Structure 1
């Protein structure tokens, strides 16, 4: 078990750690939607934080019978990826992405679920790093010295299966105070079924008894000097307000006190990580993630889909 690090670090804090000679491993965990006209690996090769390595969340994943991407890897796959990236169990892993905050929370969720608590993300990612006039590397990235990463222990309560989600959705939350509360990070229109899913042929709607909490409600937007938009996490007090607006003050209090277990879901298990991270900042530890999220749920069955508001 590694020592717990702060969840969020500013670019300047990370730069100070790097300059001081601290044993950190900078990891670009950028991921783009499949229909986006951008390639995360190509952008990493062109421009990165000095010394950073690239983590492909679609490659460091377990195969799925429905063909879903970036599913939680098994412990051997995770350990092998760490070794190739030069990460040992004691390494302070600092993750970032090119959006600001988008895919790096999912990567952080993965590390923390495998007990690697000495892990953080850069709040604001690469755009904020550049905006702070910190150094950038454009030459070919150096190859890390391979490390040894003993098979880690996975936190079984981190991930929910389709069967668990269906069983949970069939429990009436008004009569069972211990049923898990599902938070859906997708845009509200996809949750209500009024907007289509970005994946062709996939129904929109939501898991019965789930709540809409679009991941952007935990974020604040900024613009760089050249007009590029990026995101950072809101302060905890503002995250709490967004949670209360979504589920009501009573349920929010139960969540924060640890009396109501929570499961985060989204389109494919990526932005659910933003909800997970925001709740961590509120001190909520009992947060799982529905790894398949809506894509797996809707592909499996249409009999458990709710399109009411």
Structure 2
């Protein structure tokens, strides 16, 4: 473990250290020794390098870069994009220089294992369909100053140039909450779990998912119209198709009529539905459209 003054003496005073670590102009002072210019940090605790053998806190550690005086220097080198034309209710998470369009949860709890949750979130990023399709990023950060009950922040963020869709970030954050619940360790000791969700909103109420749904229905309607057009074309061009329609309409045009005879025989007639009851009284005039079956009564 190298930190503070030992880092300055063992790393920054070497030529290798001068090339490996480049400090921003507002965070360094130039020192010339034996006609050689060195960069010297203005802060005493600039960086901490931890190896695998160092014992880490299971609750995570606050990142000193999120301190207001350090963040103001870091953010002075960053130009923030205009998010007013991308979403409504943009927010600025801890550790971010700019307001973003996305989703976020903040929570407190004594049953959080920071490393285990970080590993679960990394696994979630490799398995989630929304994360892959929309190129989202999920970040975890402890945002309190070593308080008794730690406070954490999880941010879901996408590319700054991509169109914003609040349903994508809402669904992704819901999956993140499930990962959090599955990782949370309930203990017999007193614990507090206070979760707050923050969402940006669509600017025009029409997002990427809406566009995909509309496109799908347009394709379905186009396919139906195309099928109807092809059927009408075949009806006019192919006699076999017309014959098929005519045979189907002829079958539906037949009606069944029982006619009682004075003799001991009943008569079943298949009649065209176009013949009304008045015409049915004339047997000789419409005999070609009548098919009769005679049944003898027992």
- TM (norm. structure 1) is 0.22
> As a proportion of its length, which structure holds more strand?
2
- TM (norm. structure 2) is 0.23
Q: Tell which has more relative contact order, 1 or 2 (C-alpha 8 A, sep 6+).
A: 1
**Which has the larger Rg?**
2
